[in-house]
Every structure is written in structure tokens, then in C-alpha cells.
Amino acid sequence: MQEISFRNDILPLKDKLYRLAFRITLNSAEAEDVVQDTMIRVWNKRDEWPNFESIEAYCLTVARNLAIDRSEKIDSQHMELTPETQELPDALNPYEQLAQSEQLGLIHRLLNELPEKQRSIMQLRDIEGKSYKEIADILQITEEQVKINLFRSRQKIKQRYTEIEDYGL
């Protein structure tokens, strides 16, 4: 087994940790604090690093748990992501940019309406590109539960998106 280095193996995970924490807390400052606390906790466990099957999964688990704790403490309200947090391609005309912005806003709102476990699974799978096994390890559930939750959350978002787009509900 190769030696784990904080600088080379753990520090590069900070962006993934931030995105995961932000998805849960919906607050940039809280997400930054979660990443900092995660890095401190992981550093304090450096003697145990060789025992971890995946240091990345361990870091994501710590960040997720800290983010959930912080989110519950402050009773965070679900809020839509602002246009400042979205990246729009330059090639779109203003009408297309507005339409895309509204679609993204709607999808973010629908995603934020999902239960926390389903939001986390979608974040890890669809945004972070994690495998079912990695997600199961991070969330400490079975791969089948990951697949079921992912399927249900995608179906719910698709159903609600269609209802809103087709019927304005």
C-alpha cells in the first residue's frame, strides 16, 4: 500500500469536500468551515491513514457528517442557488441565457426539495461522478439502497419538472 500524503492525497480533495458541504448546508461560509474542520480532523487521524481502505471516502464521510450537523444546528432554510454560483456559456444569446438560468434554478429548487439522503446521493453520483460502491461506503448504506434512492430522486425531479414545464404547477 502506498504512503498517504496530506499535500498530494488529501488537500486536492478540498473542492469536492466544499461542493458536498455546500450541497448539504446551502451556505458558502458554512461549507468552507466544514472543509476546514474536515481537514483538521483528517490531519488529527493521520496515524490511522494506513488503516483506511479509501482516504477519499473517509474525508467525504467526515465532511458529510459535519455538514449535516451544522445544517441541523442552524436549521438552514433551503434556498435557490444564485446566478453567481452558476456558470453560463458565453455563446448563448440573452434569451437562451435566461431560459437556461430559469431551468437550472428550477432543477436546483427541485433538488433542494428532496430528502437529504437523496440529495447527497445525487450530488455524489451525478455531480462528483462517484461509483455506487463509493457512495455506499461514504453514506454507510448498501449499494442497492444507493441505486433505489438515486432512481427515486431522479424520477421525482423528472416528474416535478415535467409538471411545472407542461402545466405550470
Per residue in 15-62, pLDDT (tens digit) is 999 999 988 888 888 899 999 999 999 999 999 898 888 899 999 999
Confidence class of residue 79 from pLDDT cuts 50, 70 and 90?
very low
Q: Which residues contact 46 (CB under 8 A, 6 or more apart)?
A: 6
The pLDDT assigned to 91 comes to 57
Pick from 89-98, 106-115, 121-130: least confident: 89-98
Across the range 118-129, mean pLDDT stands at 87
The pLDDT assigned to 85 comes to 46
Instruction: Specify burial of residue 130 (Cβ count, 10 A radius: 0-12, 13-18, 19+).
Output: buried
Across the range 138-154, mean pLDDT stands at 92
Pick from 4-13, 62-71, 82-91, 135-144: least confident: 82-91
The pLDDT assigned to 107 comes to 84
Owner of C-alpha cell 423528472: 158
The set of cell numbers assigned to 89 is 456559456
Across the range 121-137, mean pLDDT stands at 88
Q: Distance of CA 126 to CAs 30, 39, 130, 136, Å? A: 23, 24, 8, 14
The pLDDT assigned to 78 comes to 45
